Structure 1
Amino acid sequence: MDDQEWLRLNRANWDDRVRVHVGSEFYDMAGFRAGADPLRPDEVADVGDVTGLRLLHLQCHMGQDTLAWARRGAVVTGVDFSEAAVEVARGLAGELGLAERARFVASDVYEARAALGGERFDVVYTGGGALVWLPDLSRWAEVVADSLRPGGFLYLAEFHPVTDMLDDAGERVVSDYFDTDPGREDFPFTYTDGPELRHTVSVQWRHPLGEVVSAVAAAGLRIEFLRERPRTVFGRFSSLERDESGSYGFPAGRPGVPLMYALRAVRE
């Protein structure tokens, strides 16, 4: 499969998802407009104070996380390959009075450097299901490194690849951790509530944790930490339980596996 085919299929799929996501309870646009914060407390603690920092959010979708960082004082740039998503993000920035602190650019991640005119940032932020849409993590990590000023850092918060091995209940290993062949899927729904998709085909890639760490290190970034976490942001498995904070984890007394991870790496 060449770059143009997977990119065309995934862009059509995500343009269509925007139509569903913008009206979904999952993304809760009304709540966000009213001040709800989609950022997870551990991410906010890991990243630290962003007041006055220039933050680049790769694969930003409709811009809610991006604009949440702007609300915390950052000057933000969001990049996404879906024109439809970028239009929603721009509209949100205008409605919330953040247009002077937030810009959104439509671009494939691999072409982001050209699309941004070579600008460099204090923080590159990404994650939450972003990496599975990219075939080449070495190329991605090079884009990240080239987007950072000296002293700037990458913060990646992602779903742990171990979760791709488990069945729907999260109880049995049913898939090979090291199977990294592209998966072409034809599925009528997105991960939120809402109507069926019209463009149902997508292509995804699995990336073991070692591949992620190695790509970041090979791009010249120094890894400050890698934190594996026992909780996640949605009910990925039927056995997960939701706590008062809204996060999900396995029931008490049951052996756990990492559900998410966070990586921070600095350009020296």
Structure 2
Amino acid sequence: MTTVNTKNIHVWNAWVPIHVRSDFYAMDEFKKNPDSLKALDKQLLGDLQGKEVLHLQCHFGQDTLSLAHAGAHVTRVDYSPEAIKTATALAAELNIPAKFVCQDVLELQLDQKFDIIYTSYGVINWLSDLNQWAQVIRRHLKDGGHLVMVEFHPFLNVLDDEFNSIGYDYCNQGDAVTFSDQKSYVNSPDDHGSYTTYEYLHPLSDVINALTNAGITFEMTEYPYSNYNCFPNLYEVSEGSGTYRHRFSIPMMFSIVGQL
């Protein structure tokens, strides 16, 4: 059955080779030092040595291989066959143990529970049903385990393409929003395509209610900066800091650390 979730697979399959070659993902540097995790994520994840970690929506695997390089036993999930193929090859090249699952995260049913479930940066906008997503997390989280989530703040969804004014509704009816003539967020000169994506602009209450209804308790923190310079009209907080802000102090990311 074709769902709105799976309609985006061809886009992500097309983006994988573009992303692998892009400066945004800096693959040559990653191969020398397989650690793409941001400082905030490392702080929230804590000691990974020997932990069983489930990484949802892993793309082509840089962050998940970073988790494994830090000592975790990682299972990574993504619905793009091209992403899983590339991630598997990268893991073999770097000799980092890897277990990859090619599946829609909303349909995930693994015969295992995990110490940590990790999900990050630009993922929930591709999911049609956050209640179903939260139930997947509950089903796979050990008692005493933790959900660690870092995500772009949904406030950003209302800004126009130049990040200068309001362009979209924050409150929505839950339907997919169609974006035509899209380029990948890496702004690569190799990206010659034009893509149509189907995305969900979930308000923060959707995330809070979905996790609460699934019986997951959590602490949430909002941040007035982005760990990625992937939006227009941002400036780096200080040279080499790797954090970027808008001229107004707006919420740009949020994190959640939760448990059953």
TM-score bracket relative to the smaller structure = over 0.9
Aligned partner of residue 21 in structure 2, secondary structure: coil
Partners in 2 of 1:10 and 1:197 — Cα distance?
18
Contact 1:13 1:199 in 2 (8 A): no
2:100 partner letter: F
Using the TM superposition, give the Cα deviation of residue 95 of structure 1 relative to its aligned residue in structure 2, in angstroms.
Answer: 1.4
Partner of 1:104: 100
Query: Is 2:246 the partner of 1:250?
Result: yes
Question: Is 1:205 aligned to 2:200, yes or no?
Answer: yes
Matched, 1:159 2:157: no
Whether the 8 Å CA contact 1:80–1:106 is kept in 2: the answer is yes
Give the corresponding residue for 1:16.
14
Residue number in structure 2 paired with 1:145: 138
Deviation at 1:195, TM superposition (A): 2.6
Distance 1:31 1:135 in 2: 35
State whether residues 5 and 126 of structure 2, in contact with CA within 8 Å, keep that contact through their aligned partners in structure 1. Answer: no
* AA aligned opposite 1:218: N
Q: Which residue of 2 aligns with 1:44?
A: 42
Structure 1 spans left out of the alignment, 5+ residues: none
Structure-2 separation of matches of 1:54 and 1:45: 17
Shift of 1:169: 4.3
Q: CA deviation at 1:237?
A: 4.2
Aligned partner letter, 1:181: D
**Alignment deviations for residues 116-174 of structure 1 (CA, whole Å, 9 cap, x no partner):** 3x211000000210000000000000001101111111111000000111234434333
CA distance in structure 2 between the aligned counterparts of 1:176 and 1:188, rounded to whole angstroms: 19
The structure 2 residue matched to 1:183, chosen from 168, 177, 180, is 177
1:7 CA drift (Å): 3.5
Native 8 Å contact 2:182 2:197 kept in 1: no
Partner secondary structure for residue 37 of structure 2: coil
Q: Which amino acid aligns with 2:51?
A: L
* Paired residue secondary structure (2:58): coil
1:35 and 2:33 aligned: yes
Tell me the distance in 1 between the aligned counterparts of 2:217 and 2:67.
24
State the distance in 2 between where 1:126 and 1:57 align: 6
**Whole-angstrom CA distance in 2 between matches of 1:30 and 1:195:** 17
Query: Which of 167, 185, 188 pairs up with 1:174?
Result: 167
1:58 to 2:70 alignment: no
Cα RMSD, aligned residues only: 1.7
Aligned to 1:126, which of 116, 119, 126?
119
SS in 1 for 2:2: helix
2:210 aligns with one of 208, 212, 215: 215
SS of the residue 1:262 aligns to:
strand
Q: Take 1:220 and 1:197, find their aligned partners in 2: how far apart are those partners?
A: 45
| Letter paired with 1:191 | Y
Give the % identical residues.
Answer: 35
Query: What TM-score, normalized to structure 1?
Result: 0.90
Question: Deviation at 1:36?
Answer: 5.1
Q: Check 1:230–1:188 CA distance in 2 against 1; reply closer, same or farther (3 A cut).
A: closer
Please list every run of 5 or more consecutive structure 2 residues that lacks an aligned counterpart in the other structure.
none
Q: Is the 8 A contact 2:4 2:176 kept in 1?
A: no
Partner of 1:231: 225
